[in-house]
């Protein structure tokens, strides 16, 4: 099988701020047309990593390859960026702001397409400071799309949005993916990563501590499901074939085959009342990997 050149490849990237090693030797590759998620707690180095890749900051060392070649000046024309936090020139309407940015690129995308793609119609002539959080994120996404980029960077695009606005935003991102664009996304929300991302990496203290497809990672760390049995219901001396762990008054069994494990419990004479069968999500994976909550 011939492996296609990844649209973006990063090798051993490092960036320090004084003594803080914000990004400490990360390597990964992003497939064209995929959505690539970068997860990690506050201060993990997500923003630093993508801003170095965007060539906003210079790396201390490491290689960044775009379509197999070192990034050139024209790289900026091929990427779109939505920063974690950004300000715009004041006293401009949304339309004027978009026009300003589209004039900075040699081959901008028609304005109406962007307005339609990001649902900007209802506030297109409003001052860009008088937008709700969700509207503002949609406008910033619009700005990131003015040059019709192949590669889109979104740094925590849905932080602070209500659940409805977040789902709306996901739909926009899905639409962008459907146009064949590649998306690199950082997020704190595991459901967002599960919903949008084809591949993820989990960062902590500047390192990648885990990477892969969301489903595979869950399977690897939690098996198919977790069966939680009240401790009182487990006969003394009972042994199980899958890894067991005691927590919060329950014995948690991480099992690859739910059916076999349940039969095992029955055979061991466990009372099945109060038994919970749970599917672990990325939140749990996150807690397990970083040993801490997200916030």
Contact set with other proteins (CB under 8 A): 54, 56-57, 73, 76-77, 81, 83, 85-92, 96, 99-101, 103-106, 143
Residue 183 CB, nearest distance to ligand ATP (Å)? 17
For residue 174, give the nearest of 133, 220, 141 by alpha carbon.
141
According to DSSP, the β-strands at 199-204 and 35-39 are parallel
Complex with ligand ATP: residue 209 or 238, whichever CB lies closer = 209
Give the C-alpha separation, 217 to 177, whole Å: 22
Cβ(96)–Cβ(123) under 8 Å? no
Cβ closest to other proteins, residue 28 vs residue 153: 153
Residue 56 interface partner, choices Mg ion, ligand ATP, other proteins, none, CB cut-off 5-8 Å depending on type: other proteins
Write phi, then psi, for 99 (nearest 5 degrees): -65, -40
Report in angstroms how near the CB of residue 91 gets to other proteins at its nearest. Answer: 4
- The CA distance from 270 to 235, in Å, is 7
106 is in the binding site of which of ligand ATP, Mg ion, other proteins, none (Cβ under 5 to 8 A by kind)?
Answer: other proteins
Taking the complex as a whole, how short is the minimal distance between the CB of residue 103 and other proteins, in angstroms? Answer: 4
SS3 118: coil
In the complex, the smallest distance separating the C-beta of residue 98 from Mg ion, rounded to whole angstroms, is: 25
Instruction: Please classify residue 292 by burial: count the beta carbons closer than 10 Å to its beta carbon, then call 0-12 exposed, 13-18 middle and 19+ buried.
Output: exposed
Q: Does 46 bind ligand ATP (CB under 6 A)?
A: yes
Residue 147, Cβ density class (10 Å: 0-12 exposed, 13-18 middle, ≥19 buried)? buried
Residues 147-166 as x/- pattern, contact with ligand ATP by CB under 6 A: --------------------
Sheet containing 225-230: give its strands across.
Answer: 244-247, 250-255, 225-230, 276-278
| Residue 35 or 94 having the CB closest to Mg ion | 35
Using CB under 6 A, which of the segments 36-44, 127-135, 234-242, 254-262 binds ligand ATP? 36-44
Per the CB < 8 A criterion, the answer to whether 146 and 98 are in contact is yes
List 5, 27, 29, 43, residue binding ligand ATP (CB under 6 A): 43
**Segment 49 to 108, residues that bind Mg ion, using CB under 5 A:** 84
* Contacting positions for ligand ATP (CB under 6 A): 17, 20, 22, 40, 42-48, 84
């Amino acid at each position: 099988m011939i492996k296609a050149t990844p649209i973006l490849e990063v090798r051993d990237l490092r960036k320090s701020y004084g003594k803080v090693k914000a990004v400490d030797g990360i390597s990964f590759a992003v497939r064209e047309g995929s959505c690539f998620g970068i997860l990690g707690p506050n201060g993990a180095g997500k923003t630093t990593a993508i801003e170095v890749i965007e060539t906003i900051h210079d790396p201390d060392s490491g290689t960044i390859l775009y379509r197999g070649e070192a990034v050139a000046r024209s790289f900026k024309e091929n990427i779109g960026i939505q920063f974690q936090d950004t300000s715009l020139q004041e006293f401009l309407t949304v339309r004027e702001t978009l026009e300003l940015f589209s004039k900075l690129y040699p081959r901008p995308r028609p304005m109406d397409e962007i307005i339609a793609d990001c649902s900007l119609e209802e506030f297109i002539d409003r001052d860009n400071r008088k937008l709700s959080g969700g509207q503002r994120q949609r406008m910033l996404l619009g700005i990131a799309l003015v040059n019709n980029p192949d590669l889109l960077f979104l740094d925590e695009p849905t932080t602070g949005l209500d659940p409805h606005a977040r789902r709306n935003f996901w739909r926009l991102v899905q639409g962008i993916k459907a146009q064949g664009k590649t998306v690199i996304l950082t997020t704190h929300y595991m459901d967002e990563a599960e919903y949008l991302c084809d591949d993820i990496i989990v960062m902590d203290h500047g390192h990648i501590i885990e990477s892969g497809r969301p489903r595979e990672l869950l399977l690897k760390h939690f098996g198919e499901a977790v069966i939680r049995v009240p401790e009182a219901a487990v006969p003394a001396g009972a042994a199980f074939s899958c890894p067991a762990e005691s927590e919060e008054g329950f014995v948690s069994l991480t099992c690859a085959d739910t059916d076999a494990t349940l039969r095992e419990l029955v055979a061991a004479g466990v009372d099945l009342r109060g038994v919970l069968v749970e599917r672990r999500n990325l939140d749990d994976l996150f807690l397990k990997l970083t040993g801490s909550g997200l916030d």
